[in-house]
Structure 1
Amino acid sequence: MSIQVPEYHDEVRARRRRLVGHLYGLHAKLESGNAYQAAEARRTLAQLRRSLTGPQYEAEAYAAVFPFDPPQAEQQAWILVAGLYATHPRPRPRSAPGKGSRSLGTSIRTLVAERPSAERRFLQLLAVDRTSLPYYLRQTVRLLSTADIPLDYDRLLDDVVTLMHKGADPERVHRVRLNWARDFHRPAPSNAAPSPAAPAASPTN
Structure 2
Amino acid sequence: MSEDFIGWLEKLKGQKAWTRARAVLRRSLAFDPGTYPPAMPFVEPWVREEGWPREAHYLVAALYALLDGAHVEGRTLARALREAREGRGSESLERRFLALLDADRDQLPHRLRQAAGLLEGGVDFAQLLRDLRSWFHPDRWVQARWAREFCGA
Aligned position for 1:108: 81
Aligned-residue Cα RMSD (Å) equals: 1.9
Report 1:8-23 matches (<5 A): 14=1, 16-23=2-9
Moved runs in structure 1, 4+ residues, more than 4 A?
Answer: none
**Where in structure 1 are there 5+ consecutive unaligned residues?**
1-13, 30-36, 96-100, 188-205
Q: Which has the higher contact order (CA 8 A, sep 6+)?
A: 2
1:84 aligns with 2:50: no
For the 8 Å contact 1:111–1:149, the answer to whether it is kept is no
Deviations 1:61-112 (A, max 9, x none): 111111123311311111111111110023443x4xxxxx222111101110
For the 8 Å contact 2:76–2:128, the answer to whether it is kept is yes
> Taking structure 2 as the reference length, what is the TM-score of the superposition?
0.87
Mapped to 1, the partners of 2:48 and 2:68 lie a distance apart of 21
Aligned position for 2:21: 44
Mapped to 1, the partners of 2:77 and 2:146 lie a distance apart of 6
Aligned position for 1:184: 150
User: Percent identity among equivalent residues?
Assistant: 35
Aligned position for 1:61: 39
Quick one: structure 1 residues 114 and 169, their matched pair in 2 at CA, closer, same or farther if it must change by over 3 Å? closer
Equivalent position to 2:109, from 116, 134, 149: 134
For the 8 Å contact 1:24–1:91, the answer to whether it is kept is no
**Where in structure 2 are there 5+ consecutive unaligned residues?**
none
Which structure would you say has the larger Rg?
1
Shift of 1:157: 0.4
**How many residues were matched structurally?**
149
Partner AA of 1:79 in structure 2: Y
